[in-house]
Structures are given as C-alpha cells and as structure tokens.
Amino acid sequence: MELKRVVVTGLGAVTPLGNTVPDLWDSVVNGRSGASPITLFDASKLKVQFACEVKNFDPLQFIDRKEARKMDRFAQLSMVAADEAIADAAIDGGKVDLDRVGVVFGVGTGGLKSFEEEVIDYAAIRDTIGPRFNPFLIPKFVPDMAPGLISIKYGFRGPNFATAAACASSNHAIAEAFNQIRLHKADIMVVGGAEAAVTACGIGGFCAMHALSTRNDTPETASRPYSKSRDGFVLGEGSSVLVLEEYEHAVARGAKIYAEVAGCGLSADAFHMTAPDPEGRGAALVMRHALADAEMQVEDIDYINLHGTSTQLGDVAEMRAVKEVFGEWAYKMNLSATKSMTGHLLGGAGALEAVISVLALKNDIVPPTINFAEDDQDPEVDYNLNFTFNTAQKRPLRAVLSNTFGFGGHNAAVIFRKI
C-alpha cells in the first residue's frame, strides 16, 4: 500500500503567550515569558506560587454557559483552540466527508481541577450527608472528552480518541493522527494537546517531587534551560491544535498548506519512573526513528525544538542525545527550548511546540531560549552548540524536529518539512 503524504492546513492555540496563533507567535519571536503569580487559586501556602497560566480567558465568550458548566477547563481550552484551527483550515461546512474527519488529543492529567474539587466536597460531607457527586464528574475528568466534544460539535465521525503518555502525550497524538491519514483511514485529522493542571493538586504534587522551579520573586526568569542555575520547570496550561490533511485532498479543495509532516518516532527510556536516562539513549533512539520514518538524513534538519524543561538532568541528557545522533551537524543546526517562554504544558507540550515549529518553518525564524546569562554557564553543557539564546534568529529552514519526553520514559519526536 502506498503511504499518503500528510500536510498541516490549520493551526489553533490558547496558551500562556496568547490566546490566538498570531498572538502566540508574536510573543515567541519576541522572547516573552508567560510566567506570573498564580491567580487561578490561592497558592500562598505552597512552596511554588507561580505558573504559566492562560490569561484573559473567558470560556463564556466561546461556549454556551450551560455547556461550559459540563466541561473541565482543559476541555474548554481544547474547544476554543480547535475552533481556531478548524476555521483556519476552512473545513467547517466545507466540502469534506465528515466520516473521514477524525480527532485525537494528547492529555496528561485530564480534568484535574474537577476531580480535586469533587474530592474536597466529598470529604466535607461524607460523614454527615454521605456520598454525593456531580453527575458530570466523570465526563469532566476523563481525558478523551476533549476530542469527543469537538467531534460532537462539528459532526466529525472519523477516528476519535485520546493518547496518554505524560509529557509526550500530544506528540503521540500527532503520530497517531499522521498514521491514520497516511494509512488511508482518514482524510483529515484534528490533532492537539491540552492541559489545565495549574491547581493546588498539580502544583503541590510537582512541588513534592522537587520538579518545579521555586523562583517566586522572579517567575519570568524561572525557566532557564541550559543555564547552570536552572532549578526545575514552570508548570503551564493551555491547548494547541493542528489540522492534518492528506496532501492530494488538501490540494483538491484549495487548502492553505503550512508544512508537511515528514515523519514521527516513538521510543522508551526503560530506565526510571521520572528521571531520564542520563546518556539520553531513549532520546537518541526516538530521533533516529523519526529520521528513518521521514527517510531523511541528519543534514536535512536545520532546527530542533528541544524538550528542554530547565531541569538539571533532562537538559543535559537531551543535549547528549542530540550530539550522538547528529554528530558534527549538531553544531550547524539551531536548537532552542521554547518552554523557557511557555512553561511546561505536560500533555499539551508537544502540540504547542508543534505549532511553534510549523510557524518557525513557515517564517524562517528560530525562536529563542530565553533567560540565559553568560556568567551562568554549566560545565556539563556544550556551548559550542547554537541554543539560540535570548534572541530569535532568522535562518532559512528546510525541516524542523520537535522532541517531547514524558515520565515513565515515553519519548516522541515529530519532523515537519517545508513544502
């Protein structure tokens, strides 16, 4: 069977750096940080009191009040990002076979806030009134509700499911959507990622693991990948969506094409629940798989959007993997860690970084890794590599690779190619 080509025909985003794709891209190119003190709940008693929240987001501007009450925040964010991507791709009401349009989302924690609130309410009444739960608790909590609600709104009857692979979830979703199209099972896939874990449970849980930066006084500088003083990631929230489409189908209907999805790779570290393999063996393997799937050589990649979370172990392990896979070419590419601006969206990270990678490719601009200072160099980091520190760089781009790695040792990489 001949594999179909897959292209990107729509983008959508609701993020800590802007609630539309143009606003996101403007912030990314200009190196803005999305980190600020937490407003979604009272974090005053927690060790970490800041995050990368989505700002100025009112779901009632986009979703009927009655329907919004049935959705957790992660699903609300997903619906709005999907609306932008679907409109961008002009498939809403277009001449497409809705039986062959699917939706797949990568989600790490699902409706964490809804679950947290319900447990607190239950604990308060269980000894007096007895168990009493919101009838929408389960629909609000389960991660697959985001793609489900999108398909219901638009009548998309193609493949519909969610992927859960911690922080690699939405790159897994992209890989699954990519394969649905190239294996002739769908014409269009709306694919994305979402997370809304900026809650007492989310912040408190990661605090207990010592995974988060504790720079409460200067949150905007807290995410500093590849700096010696990095002390953990900054938790983020949001949703990003791409419309993937079979190439000939897109051309036939005159769709705008951003880029081609060239290939995807998946692997496991098989090492530790939360720590990366220090030599980056799983990370190296996933990049090799992606290159092989795309039938590309290392010299074909001009930019890597690093997983780069600003943790001591993870940043160095990924750097070692890049050097192992790309050899001398690693010094001729650009690298950057956009989580320095967006924070870490967990299950939503891959989709957000995929949108950023596609925009980088389209505009021939490499986003920066912000918050680096020359006097903050880590002896474990090879600064002969071009990490695109602090300022975006204009450069002709032929192909971009985007990495995501998750707790449990899950690794996923996606390559986008100019078309």
List the catalytic residues: 167, 307, 344
d(C-alpha 274, C-alpha 280), whole Å = 14
Judge contact between 157 and 190, C-beta under 8 A.
no
For residue 315, give every residue at least 6 positions away whose Cβ sits within 8 Å of its Cβ, in sequence order, or none.
Answer: 225, 226, 230, 308, 309, 337, 381
Dihedral class, residue 201 (left if φ above 0, else alpha if ψ from -120 to 50, else beta): alpha
Exposed e or buried b per residue across 309-342, where buried means at least 16 C-beta atoms within 10 angstroms of its C-beta: bbbeebbbbbbbbbbbbbeebbeebbbbbbbbbb
d(C-alpha 183, C-alpha 195), whole Å = 29
50-51 and 334-336 as β-strands: parallel, antiparallel, unpaired?
Answer: unpaired
d(C-alpha 38, C-alpha 49), whole Å = 6
Start-to-end C-alpha separation, the chain: 23
d(C-alpha 366, C-alpha 337), whole Å = 10
Strand partners, 103: 160, 190
| Residue indicated by tokens 């993997």 | 321
Judge contact between 247 and 187, C-beta under 8 A.
no
d(C-alpha 379, C-alpha 229), whole Å = 11
